[in-house]
Structure 1
Amino acid sequence: MLIKEISLLTNDLVATERFYSDILQFAIYNKTASRISFSVGHSMLSFTYTERQNPFYHFAFSIPSNKVDEAHRFIADKIEVLPFTPGTTIADFSNWNAHAFYFHDNQKNIVEFIAHHDLHNDTNEPFTPSDIIGICEIGVPVEDVTEACKMFNEKYGLQYFVKGPRLQDFSVMGDTQGLFIVTKIGRGWLPTQQPAERFDTKVVFENNGQVAELIL
Structure 2
Amino acid sequence: MKIKKLTIYTSKVKRQLQFYRDELNFQVRDYDETSFELLTGYSILRFEYRENAKPYHIAFHIPDNQEEEALRWIENERSALPNNNQKIIDFSNWGAKSVYFYDEDKNIMELISRRDFSKPKSAIFSADSIVGVAEIGLATVNIQEKFKKMQTECGLVKFDGDLERFCAVGEASGLIITINKNEKVWFPTGDKAFSADFILEFEYDQTGYSMSFKEDQLEISKK
- The aligned residue for residue 217 of structure 2 is none
- The aligned residue for residue 221 of structure 2 is none
Aligned pair in 2 of structure 1 residues 16, 71: CA closer, same or farther (>3 Å)?
same
Work out the percentage of aligned pairs sharing the same amino acid.
Answer: 32
- The aligned residue for residue 138 of structure 1 is 136
Q: Following TM superposition, by how much is the alpha carbon of 1:22 offset from its aligned partner in structure 2, in angstroms?
A: 1.4
Encode CA deviations 1:155-214: one digit per residue, 9 max, x unaligned: 1111111xx123411101111110000111242001111111012211111111111111
The DSSP-based 3-state class of the residue aligned with 2:9 is strand
The DSSP-based 3-state class of the residue aligned with 1:95 is helix
Aligned pair in 2 of structure 1 residues 121, 14: CA closer, same or farther (>3 Å)?
same
- The aligned residue for residue 166 of structure 1 is 162
Does the CA contact (< 8 Å) of 1:97 and 1:118 recur in 2? no
Q: Following TM superposition, by how much is the alpha carbon of 1:123 offset from its aligned partner in structure 2, in angstroms?
A: 3.8
Aligned-CA RMSD value: 1.3
TM-score (norm 1): 0.94
- The aligned residue for residue 81 of structure 2 is 82
What is the CA–CA distance in structure 2 between the aligned matches of 1:17 and 1:109, rounded to whole Å? 14
What is the CA–CA distance in structure 2 between the aligned matches of 1:197 and 1:107, rounded to whole Å? 13
Q: Structure 2: which amino acid aligns with 1:94?
A: S
Q: Structure 1: which amino acid aligns with 2:178?
A: V
Aligned pair count reads: 212
- The aligned residue for residue 205 of structure 2 is 208
What is the CA–CA distance in structure 1 between the aligned matches of 2:117 and 2:17, rounded to whole Å? 31
- The aligned residue for residue 9 of structure 1 is 9
Does the CA contact (< 8 Å) of 2:118 and 2:131 recur in 1? no
The DSSP-based 3-state class of the residue aligned with 1:69 is helix
Q: Following TM superposition, by how much is the alpha carbon of 1:147 offset from its aligned partner in structure 2, in angstroms?
A: 1.6
Q: Structure 1: which amino acid aligns with 2:61?
A: S
TM-score (norm 2): 0.91
Q: Structure 2: which amino acid aligns with 1:205?
A: F
Does the CA contact (< 8 Å) of 1:101 and 1:112 recur in 2? yes
- The aligned residue for residue 116 of structure 1 is 114
Q: Following TM superposition, by how much is the alpha carbon of 1:83 offset from its aligned partner in structure 2, in angstroms?
A: 1.2
Does the CA contact (< 8 Å) of 1:141 and 1:196 recur in 2? yes
Does the CA contact (< 8 Å) of 1:144 and 1:169 recur in 2? no
- The aligned residue for residue 151 of structure 1 is 149
What is the CA–CA distance in structure 2 between the aligned matches of 1:128 and 1:158, rounded to whole Å? 32
* Structure 1: gaps of 5 or more residues: none
Q: Following TM superposition, by how much is the alpha carbon of 1:140 offset from its aligned partner in structure 2, in angstroms?
A: 0.8
- The aligned residue for residue 106 of structure 1 is 104
Runs of 4+ aligned structure 1 residues displaced above 4 Å come to none
The DSSP-based 3-state class of the residue aligned with 1:100 is strand
Q: Structure 1: which amino acid aligns with 2:188?
A: P
Q: Following TM superposition, by how much is the alpha carbon of 1:124 offset from its aligned partner in structure 2, in angstroms?
A: 4.4
